Homo-oligomer: A and B are copies of this chain.
Amino acid sequence: MHILIIGAAGMLGRKLATAIVSGALPATQLTLADVLVPPAPRSDIPTDVIALNLTETGAAQRLIAARPDIIYHLAAIVSAEAEADFARGYAINLDATRALFDAIRLTPGYRPRVIFASSIAVFGAPLPDVIPDDFHLTPRSSYGTQKAMAEMLLADYTRRGFLDGMALRLPTICIRSGAPNKAASSFFSGILREPLNGLPAILPVRDTLRHWFASPRAATGFFIHAARLDTARLNGQTALNMPGLSATVADQIAALRTHAGNDAVALIRHAPDDAIIRIVESWPRAFDTVRATALGFTAETSFDQILQVYREDDLPS
């Protein structure tokens, strides 16, 4: 089984590659692609690393020339960037995705499984407290619009038999390892990660804010599970809300206190940021993921578990 990961230099791409070479999938060949040369995990599995820009002519054709059986498409620019640079957001999040799908469509006899990283940003206010599987998409960001449009393309290309697609709408990933990124959601990880590493963190919202989370390990598990799933069970509805944990910032902080004590919690400074508050208060707070759960996708059920995952997988020792 030849597996291609596009966006392999990102946090989830790297964790996914590591899980695959550790035996999560029966890979016989691995291709890792990103705009910068992605790191290759240590492994006996033959691994190619490719640096390329998916928006350039011929890039998608080059990636699929060896006909990978499974394609993970995780490459994207994040919400704040897509909002700041309108044309670039559409070029990368929509057009490059379509170029990939079209390269597959135009390769005779080729019909790989394509697992696309989508986002709960496809949903926009007004939202119910708990969002059902069939809730309509009214994105309130260019990023969410691009993800929703790519989901629709994926469904149509799948219906037409050009590929075997699945779009996974990921919860906010927490705790992200590494440095903060430009996403408005960055603080959800920062208020845990920084104190766990003895560093100060800023909380720009009230602690009553509720949001929807899964760990990087859970997200990796979604991607692995999607590769094994019988896609006939999707009945043509190729986009799925992934399971997660609905929790408040206060729940996050309580778990931090349990794991690292009051000194860690004292490193969080509350500094309200109206711009961030306006954005995140319109975000989903909880989902009822009946379909994904019935299909066997699972995530954490408490922030204690999410902190434990970070300690085991990412905390520098």
Q: Which residues in chain A, 129-146, are within 8 Å of chain B measured between CB atoms?
A: 134-140, 142, 145
A218 to chain B: which residues have CB within 8 Å? none
A134-B136, A138-B237 known; A86 vs B160 contact (CB < 8 Å): yes
Q: Kindly specify which of A39-47, A52-60, A147-155, A289-297 makes contact with the partner chain.
A: A147-155
Q: Does A257 belong to the interface (CB within 8 Å)?
A: no
In the bound complex, do residue A156 and residue B142 qualify as a contact, i.e. CB atoms below 8 Å apart? yes
Q: Does A236 belong to the interface (CB within 8 Å)?
A: yes
* Bound Cα distance A152, B137 (Å): 9
* Bound Cα distance A258, B137 (Å): 44
A148 to chain B: which residues have CB within 8 Å? 152
* Bound Cα distance A135, B133 (Å): 11
Q: Which of chain B's residues has its CB closest to A150's CB?
A: B149
* Contacting residue for A149 out of B136, B140, B149, B236, CB 8 A: B149
Q: Does A159 belong to the interface (CB within 8 Å)?
A: yes
* Bound Cα distance A160, B139 (Å): 12
- Which A residues contact B (CB, under 8 angstroms)? 86, 105, 134-140, 142, 145, 148-149, 152-153, 155-156, 159-160, 236-237
* Contacting residue for A152 out of B86, B105, B139, B160, CB 8 A: B139
In the bound complex, do residue B139 and residue A137 qualify as a contact, i.e. CB atoms below 8 Å apart? no
In the bound complex, do residue B138 and residue A136 qualify as a contact, i.e. CB atoms below 8 Å apart? no
| A-B residue pairs, 10 tightest by C-beta | A145-B156, A136-B136, A149-B149, A134-B136, A145-B152, A149-B152, A142-B156, A148-B152, A138-B237, A135-B136
In the bound complex, do residue B140 and residue A137 qualify as a contact, i.e. CB atoms below 8 Å apart? no
> How many copies make up the complex?
2
A159 to chain B: which residues have CB within 8 Å? 140
26 A-B pairs with C-beta separation under 8 A:
A86-B105, A86-B160, A134-B135, A134-B136, A135-B136, A136-B136, A136-B137, A137-B137, A137-B152, A138-B155, A138-B236, A138-B237, A139-B152, A139-B155, A139-B156, A140-B159, A140-B236, A142-B156, A145-B153, A145-B155, A145-B156, A148-B152, A149-B149, A149-B152, A149-B153, A152-B152
* Bound Cα distance A149, B137 (Å): 11
Sample of 14 further A-B pairs with CB below 8 A, known A145-B155, A149-B149: A135-B136, A136-B136, A138-B155, A139-B155, A139-B156, A140-B236, A142-B156, A142-B160, A145-B153, A145-B156, A148-B152, A149-B152, A149-B153, A152-B152
Q: Which of chain B's residues has its CB closest to A86's CB?
A: B160
A152 to chain B: which residues have CB within 8 Å? 137, 139, 145, 148-149, 152
A155 to chain B: which residues have CB within 8 Å? 138-139, 145
Interchain nearest-CB distance for A21 vs B (Å): 36
Interchain nearest-CB distance for A282 vs B (Å): 11
A142 to chain B: which residues have CB within 8 Å? 156, 160
Q: Which of chain B's residues has its CB closest to A134's CB?
A: B136
